[in-house]
Structure 1
Amino acid sequence: MSIPIEVLEAELLSLPQADRSRLVDKLLVSLGHDPAWEETWGVEADRREARLAQDPQQWVDGQQALAQARARLK
């Protein structure tokens, strides 16, 4: 019997952070290793880090970024 994804998601999100983190690690490993993806994101992370180092004022925290995105969608 399969559990509806919404029920499973709610159950998983109710777990303590350490358990959720462990589960995320296991899920990521189950997706396999893609060296091309890792290389691409490594290059992108370096690019973003360099850009932020040049102008730290452009950094926006997650809550502020979400608020800005929601405002643009209105």
Structure 2
Amino acid sequence: MKEALTLPSAARTLLAEKLIESLEFDVDETLQKLWTDEAKKRRDKVRSGAVSPIPGEEALARVRQLLE
């Protein structure tokens, strides 16, 4: 692990992706496609300016407030 942390950023990113892929098994391809499509729609809305992202902490604070 210490050696991996000394790798350049791009190499650590690739290593992390490969490690995550190794954990994924029995993926429902239909469900995966639906989530991928949804993520792309949301990305496109942000890029087009149709929606403005907010920081995660702010989003969590809003959810907590709604749940109170």
Q: Which runs of 5+ in 1 are unaligned?
A: 1-17
TM-score (norm. length: structure 2):
0.57
Matching residue within 47, 51, 59 for 1:65: 59
Matching residue within 20, 36, 45 for 1:25: 20
Matching residue within 7, 28, 32 for 1:34: 28
| One-letter amino acid of the counterpart of residue 38, structure 1 | Q
| One-letter amino acid of the counterpart of residue 25, structure 1 | I
**Structure 1 residues 56, 62: CA separation in 2 closer, same or farther (over 3 Å shift)?**
farther
Paired residues in the alignment total 53
CA RMSD of aligned residues (A): 2.7
CA shift, 1:33, in A, is 2.1
Q: Which runs of 5+ in 2 are unaligned?
A: 6-15
Q: Which runs of 4+ in 1 moved over 6 A?
A: none
Identity %: 23
TM-score (norm. length: structure 1):
0.54
CA offset digits 1:5-49 (Å, max 9, x no partner): xxxxxxxxxxxxx8xx7xx837842x4121101110111011000
